[in-house]
Structure 1
Amino acid sequence: MKPLADRLRPKKIEDMIGQSHIIGEGKVLNKIIKNKSIPNMILYGPPGTGKTTLANIIANATGKKYVKLNAVNCGVKEIKEVIESAKQDLFSFNGIILMLDEIQAMNKKQQQALLEVIEDGSVTLIASTADNPYFVIYKAILSRSSIFEFKTIDKNDIYKGLKRAVKKLPEFYTYDYINIEDEALKAIAETCNGDMRTALNKLELAFNLGIDIAANSVYITLDTVLESSNTKILSFDRGGDDGYSILSAFHKSLRGSDADAAIHYLARLVKAEDMQGITRRLLCVASEDVGLAVPQAITITEACVSSALQLGFPEARIPLAQATVYLAQCPKSNSVVTAIDLALEDLDNIETGDIPLHLKDAHYSGAKDLGRGVDYKYPHDYPNNYVKQQYLPESIKNKKYYTHGNNKNELAFKHFWDNLKK
């Protein structure tokens, strides 16, 4: 028997759960299906959000022959063979829709060869991927396709989908009595991570546990759901779009001084045990975003990172959380990253000139004959260990890369040097 999720797969766009931003009344995909003018498409988003279901609906609505393949277990040769076979029946259909799951599994050369299949217009490609298409799909295919992003489904929509599924259960089962508590459905919706397929799988498992053979009935309570699956599976692909997005949110929350948000995203990363991702972000924030506002931040952060690496998970979460809360609360300054980036930009775009002769290495015989180091002034020979002299190359001698940040530490240094240089 097919899984419940397959048996309940919607046949019409109106029956789909979620994705109202693209399939709702008047939205782009809704119009495309009604007009039956289907472009090549890339459907991009997390598992269980309706990508395959939508491809089925499109094929049914347009009267095209539907061919579904998975790029994980087939190559271009197999795709071409299936397409050629499908073309034998084209007199009965208005073209072919090729639904290609997991297109990111095909390498660049395979994707290039796939162009031949879709170039003549007889085949419409609908490819799906959970990875960011701009990272994993060949540009020539992207340029010939419309990209639609599917989002995780809101738990309230998942709950509505489960209620609808419960009403259909008597169509598949012959039990005298089926009763499923509302709290049980809400618990499933809460723990399925926006994945409708996962929600229906959880419902099916709880259904099987709730069967009373003697009474020929099914009764599902909250306890039944908790017994069948009490762990919420988080979506995290370390090398994929979701993983990068969590790391980005973590970094930006630290930069934005929101300790609660930073701890939340840290918890996601801890769940995934992404030690490298966490520690890289923390060390980067300590210099990029806190910088000279709190110069000791990098030292404290490094100590926390070192402790975490020695402890390992699960204890590593504690020093990582310490560094996270500390960095979120630190005053912020991006003066150092701004300074180095301006200097690097000049190296790429303008002629910066030669190093002044008095600064060049003079620790070898004959250096003085070349004029190197001759006019150098040793600052420690002067009052307050400072003497004015030119350090930048002549062509950029008036360039200013570093600007003091508006914080206590950097302003104190600015005050010191302003007074001294007067």
Structure 2
Amino acid sequence: MPFAGGLAEAHVFVDRIHSASDVLRRAEFRPAPFFVGPNSFGQRRSRGARANEFAPTIPDVHLGKGATVGAVIPTRGAIIPAAVGVDIGCGMVAVRTTLKAADLPDSLAAIRAQIERDVPVGFHSHKAPLQPRGHDAAGSLQRRIDGLVRRYDTLRIMDRVGKFDHARVWRQLGTLGGGNHFIELCLDEEDAVWVMLHSGSRNVGNTIGEVAIATARRAAEREQRHLPDRDLAWLAEGTKEFDEYVAGLTWAQDYAALNRDLMVDLIVRALQRFFPGEVVVRESAVNCHHNYASLEEHFGATLWVTRKGAVSARSGQLGIIPGSMGTKSFIVCGKGNPAAYHSCSHGAGRRMSRSEARRQFTRADLAEQTAGVECRKDAGVIDELPAAYKDVDAVLSAQRDLVDVVHTLKQVLCVKG
């Protein structure tokens, strides 16, 4: 449904909504299963600077920093760095292995511990940069690393802060990070074991994002742009600052995709310690960003499309919609819906803030809601329990015109950052 704002029009992909007033009434007083907070719509209304004619809002929409999470923001001749955010290239990867559920031991604790040893989480890094070897894909992974190294040395945007910790950039390649980033082993409808994970461009992407956001704000002040929100500040095509940002942005997005592929490689090798013979990847990886910007053609125009908590869903394109820890996730195939700028949701989406989840729930709730999943059950991850997220089935149902389900995955092991 269209939702007209003061500066732009939003197309809202949710079910059981009959009017804009009903959206706000449900949001404020009667939350739907895919809760839309009232602040989310205020935030979307202000996101219209240099925006195209309409901007879709995806079913997992919720309030975010810089831009609403679950938003697709098309812009002409400019990018809004705060809309992309600082977790540039954050996204998902999933691969199907030759393992079956029957191959797994009754307890997955030892496998989780091995993955946690092999893949650094939180603020931790590898002791030395990874050097893939010993398998067919190693050469391809190493060439991608080498390419990133060469391009990094040319990134002018990093010169603004100085390449002060060059070594950490490469030690963090192949690491998970923290927050809601995760690694999972899942089972599909045929009991095949999948490796799935969620991560981004680590600290270097954060640095690029912060520099670009500050640069855009200074440009707005210099050019006396009167914006309703300073996070609307943009960088315009044809400027040095824009070119430097796009170079850094695309580099960070490539870094994030490679980061995920390297972790899959580490996890598969960890699994090989436990099973006779080789654990091999049966299908090509589905590797997709959900915080990024790209130059695309829509409605006969060339636009910069920023997906903040949204996934590209071109016709026939595979994507990943994860649920929360202890629930289901989905491999989906895009339908190429033009009204959504060929996009779909990036997950279930939060139904409450982290602080509210910690206030409402206990470790006992966490243990109950993650029963049957080998995962952390301590106070540090209470804000990630399933009840803190929307019902992923409801979110998926609300986007039947955006994607089809290819595989349904159920988590059996989860590593949190």
State the TM bucket, normalised to the shorter chain.
Answer: under 0.3
- Structure with the bigger RCO (C-alpha within 8 Å, sep 6+) is 2
Structure with greater strand percent: 2
Structure possessing the higher radius of gyration over alpha carbons: 1
TM-score computed with the length of structure 2 as normaliser: 0.23
Structure with greater helix percent: 1
